[in-house]
């Protein structure tokens, strides 16, 4: 099986164009594996990642099997990575480096294999592409090696970009967790408040129909809703009584303070954190603060966090008030439907009360 030059170029450019439009990392890895598999008419492809720190190689994508983890230097893939050298093996079952365990478990028979190590821009090995069983019982050859090498260059660059993005996202997550915990500790009465708000927000986002990436993002960033309170004096923040009007005006500044802390970041999660910090006290009817946004002018993250925050705050004991009963909270929600809160969100809450109660019980203050 082979393509002529024109067919090959058409296949490569069409496939790369489709891959370039993808944003979900898991989907991107799957499509990269399909690209490497199909360019050489193989039956299966695995993309392996080399973990230098832990001296392991593991499959990010393994078509037809579950994830595999090996010590470095072990097996055919480990050997190719260790020697930084491509391998073509057309009688795999006779190769002493081959571990038949996966074949035995799955009933699949590995006959032919080609492995190409992948390197980053600094010539460091970051993993390998492994293709298995060329179709129509053919053998892999030097032309296949050339084509897979072409694919591996693109795959390696894509993987390096993805890994860097994942590292940046993990850094954002750690920062958000640390900052959220800092704000929580300053407000001595909050306990598990931000954790519950995160889970309530995630649940509401799913019920509302947001995609999974937005749901995950909101769960991560909603703990930052009150980060601006780090700029509020302790005497006001922890006052064991209701605030007077002048103190309340100071307290309201926390939305602007939180936004000012986060607004200049170009990082996705911190941008989302800025939205939540700024808009979670806006109200559906336009009577909220800091700027009086109304209806869908309020970002959906702000609308969701507003309901989640109020539900938890009212149901929790504070130094200035006892916890409200569920009946009292429900009455307020019914009254504030279309005023404070988006009607759809209130309806979703009432239709799924038991799920919110489960979260509250699981993360109750200790």
pLDDT tens digit string along 307-344?
999 999 999 887 778 899 999 999 999 999 999 999 99
Domain CATH code at residue 11: 3.30.450.40
On whether both 150 and 262 belong to a single domain, the answer is no
The encoded tokens of residue 319 equal 């130094």
| Res. 188 pLDDT band, cuts 50 70 90 | low
Tell me what the mean pLDDT of segment 225-238 comes to: 89
Would residue 292 be called left, alpha or beta, if left means φ above 0 and alpha means ψ between -120 and 50 degrees?
left
Contact present, 27 and 40 (Cβ < 8 Å): no
Mean pLDDT, the chain, whole residue set:
90
On whether both 76 and 45 belong to a single domain, the answer is yes
Is residue 175 in some structural domain? no
Is residue 170 in some structural domain? no
* pLDDT for residue 3 is more than 90: no
CA 124 to chain centre: 26
On whether both 151 and 18 belong to a single domain, the answer is yes
Contact present, 341 and 303 (Cβ < 8 Å): yes
Burial class from Cβ neighbours inside 10 Å (0-12, 13-18, 19+) for residue 287 reads exposed
Instruction: Specify the DSSP class assigned to residue 24.
Output: -
On whether both 259 and 337 belong to a single domain, the answer is yes
State how far the alpha carbon of 82 is from the alpha carbons of 54, 119, 155, 352, in Å. Answer: 14, 12, 19, 54
Model pTM greater than 0.75? no
Pick the last residue of a domain from 131, 165, 199. 165
On whether both 99 and 214 belong to a single domain, the answer is no
Catalytic site residue from 60, 229, 353, 355: 229
pLDDT of residue 122: 79
Residue 144: other Cβ atoms inside 10 A: 22
On whether both 286 and 255 belong to a single domain, the answer is yes
Tell me what the mean pLDDT of segment 204-220 comes to: 94
Q: Which residues of 258-267 are buried (b: 16+ CB within 10 A; e: fewer)?
A: bbebbeeeee
Helices (H), 187-233: 193-208, 212-221
Residues 6+ apart with CB under 8 A from 25: 162, 165, 166
Residues facing residue 115 across a β-bridge: 87, 130
Pick the last residue of a domain from 165, 198, 226. 165
On whether both 137 and 193 belong to a single domain, the answer is no
| Res. 186 pLDDT band, cuts 50 70 90 | low
DSSP 3-state of 278:
helix
Contact present, 223 and 198 (Cβ < 8 Å): yes
- Is residue 56 annotated as part of the catalytic site, yes or no? no
What is the per-residue pLDDT across 243-293, written as a single tens digit (0 to 9) for each? 999 999 999 999 999 999 889 888 788 899 999 999 999 999 999 999 999
* pLDDT for residue 173 is more than 80: no
| Res. 185 pLDDT band, cuts 50 70 90 | low
- Most distant CA pair in the chain, distance: 83
Is residue 52 in some structural domain? yes
pLDDT of residue 237: 87
| Res. 162 pLDDT band, cuts 50 70 90 | confident
Lowest mean pLDDT among 17-21, 97-101, 255-259, 302-306: 17-21
pLDDT of residue 275: 97
| Res. 21 pLDDT band, cuts 50 70 90 | confident
Residue 291: other Cβ atoms inside 10 A: 12
On whether both 96 and 225 belong to a single domain, the answer is no
CA separation for the pair 206, 47 (Å, rounded): 31
Is residue 172 in some structural domain? no
The encoded tokens of residue 3 equal 């393509």
| Res. 12 pLDDT band, cuts 50 70 90 | confident
Residue of 112, 95, 100, 118 lying closest to 48 (CA atoms):
118
Tell me what the mean pLDDT of segment 234-251 comes to: 91
Share of the chain above pLDDT 90, in %: 60
The encoded tokens of residue 328 equal 């009292």
Domain CATH code at residue 267: 1.10.3210.10
On whether both 194 and 340 belong to a single domain, the answer is yes
Angle at 174 between CA 171 and CA 180, to 5 degrees: 135
| Res. 191 pLDDT band, cuts 50 70 90 | low
On whether both 153 and 191 belong to a single domain, the answer is no
CA separation for the pair 227, 277 (Å, rounded): 7
CA dihedral 237, 241, 244, 246 (to 10 degrees): -10
Count of domains observed in the chain: 2
State how far the alpha carbon of 120 is from the alpha carbons of 7, 14, 47, 127, 364, in Å. Answer: 28, 24, 15, 9, 47
pLDDT of residue 52: 87
How are the residues of the chain apportioned to helix, strand and coil, as percentages rounded to the nearest 5?
60, 10, 30
CA separation for the pair 188, 194 (Å, rounded): 12
Tell me what the mean pLDDT of segment 176-201 comes to: 74
* pLDDT for residue 190 is more than 70: no
On whether both 11 and 158 belong to a single domain, the answer is yes
Contact present, 250 and 216 (Cβ < 8 Å): no
Would residue 84 be called left, alpha or beta, if left means φ above 0 and alpha means ψ between -120 and 50 degrees?
left
| Res. 298 pLDDT band, cuts 50 70 90 | very high
Q: Quick one: CA dihedral 105, 106, 111, 113, positive or negative?
A: negative
On whether both 264 and 358 belong to a single domain, the answer is yes
pLDDT of residue 22: 77
Find the domain containing 73 and state its range: 5-165
Contact present, 274 and 259 (Cβ < 8 Å): yes
> Whole-angstrom distance between the N-terminal and C-terminal Cα of the chain?
66
* pLDDT for residue 130 is more than 90: yes
What is the per-residue pLDDT across 55-94, written as a single tens digit (0 to 9) for each? 999 998 888 888 889 898 999 999 999 999 999 999 999 9
Residue 53: other Cβ atoms inside 10 A: 5
Tell me what the mean pLDDT of segment 131-159 comes to: 91
The encoded tokens of residue 134 equal 């060329």
């Amino acid at each position: 099986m082979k393509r002529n030059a024109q067919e090959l170029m058409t296949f490569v450019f069409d496939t790369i164009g489709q891959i370039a439009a993808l944003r979900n990392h898991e989907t991107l890895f799957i499509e990269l594996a399909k690209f490497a598999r199909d360019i050489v008419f193989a039956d299966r492809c695995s993309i392996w990642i080399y973990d230098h720190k832990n001296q392991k190689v593991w499959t990010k994508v393994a078509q037809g099997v579950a994830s595999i983890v090996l010590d470095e230097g072990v097996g055919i893939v480990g050997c190719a990575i260790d020697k930084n050298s491509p391998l073509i093996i057309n009688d795999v079952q006779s190769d002493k480096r081959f571990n038949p365990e996966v074949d035995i478990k799955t009933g699949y028979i590995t006959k032919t294999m080609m492995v190409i190590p992948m390197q980053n821009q600094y010539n460091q090995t970051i993993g390998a592409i492994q293709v298995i069983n060329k179709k129509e019982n053919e053998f892999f050859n030097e032309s296949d090696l050339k084509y897979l090498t072409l694919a591996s260059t693109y795959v390696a660059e894509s993987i390096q970009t993805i890994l860097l993005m994942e590292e940046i996202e993990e850094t954002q997550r750690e920062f958000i967790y640390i900052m959220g915990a800092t704000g929580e500790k300053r407000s001595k009465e909050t306990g598990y408040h931000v954790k519950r708000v995160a889970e309530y927000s995630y649940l509401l986002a799913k019920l509302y129909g947001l995609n999974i990436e937005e749901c995950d993002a909101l769960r991560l960033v909603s703990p930052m809703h009150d980060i601006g309170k780090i700029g509020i004096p302790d005497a006001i923040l922890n006052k064991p009584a209701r605030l007077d009007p002048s103190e309340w005006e100071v307290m309201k500044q926390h939305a602007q303070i939180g936004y000012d802390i986060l607004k200049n970041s170009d990082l996705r999660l911190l941008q989302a954190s800025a939205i939540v910090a700024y808009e979670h006290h806006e109200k559906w009817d336009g009577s909220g603060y800091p700027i009086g946004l109304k209806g869908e002018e309020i970002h959906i993250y702000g609308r969701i966090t507003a309901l989640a925050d109020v539900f938890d705050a009212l149901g929790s004991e504070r130094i200035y008030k006892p916890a409200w009963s569920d009946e009292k909270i429900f009455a307020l929600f019914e009254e504030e439907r279309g005023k404070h809160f988006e009607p759809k969100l209130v309806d979703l809450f009432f239709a799924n009360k038991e799920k919110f109660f489960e979260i509250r019980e699981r993360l109750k203050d200790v």
